[in-house]
Amino acid sequence: METKKFNLKYIRAKNKVEKEKGFYSHLIIYVLVNTVITIIKVWGNVENWSTFTDKLTSIDVLSSWTIWGVFLILHFLTFKYGQDWEERKIKEYMNKELSNNSK
């Protein structure tokens, strides 16, 4: 029985680490891709500092950061705060499965 508890704890911890790793991968890709998109959109239209700042703050550039950023925030919230619900469901299913196996 103690081995089963250890295995369950290990599996839960591993799942948490996988979800955290997924979020950080998403964050890195978000920054890299949006940086490249921003450089591409701004690069050809730079004549002086004023046009650079105008293009950098245009809806063209900010839309990709904002829209993807909303999804990144949602990913963070589900990763950080959605685990309590998930943990309860896992325990519920595991208890049901263990009680079915003991009968």
Question: Which pLDDT tens digit goes with each residue over 8-57?
Answer: 778 878 888 898 999 999 999 999 999 999 988 888 767 777 777 888 78
Distances (CA, A) of 23 to 5, 6, 48, 49, 101: 27, 26, 38, 35, 35
Confidence (pTM):
0.70
Would you state the structure tokens that stand for residue 77, as one six-digit string?
Answer: 């919230």
Would you state the structure tokens that stand for residue 13, as one six-digit string?
Answer: 């911890």
> 3-state DSSP helix/strand/coil percent for the chain, to nearest 5?
90, 0, 10
What percentage of the chain reaches a pLDDT higher than 90? 30
Q: What gap in Å lies between CA 97 and CA 75, rounded to an integer?
A: 30
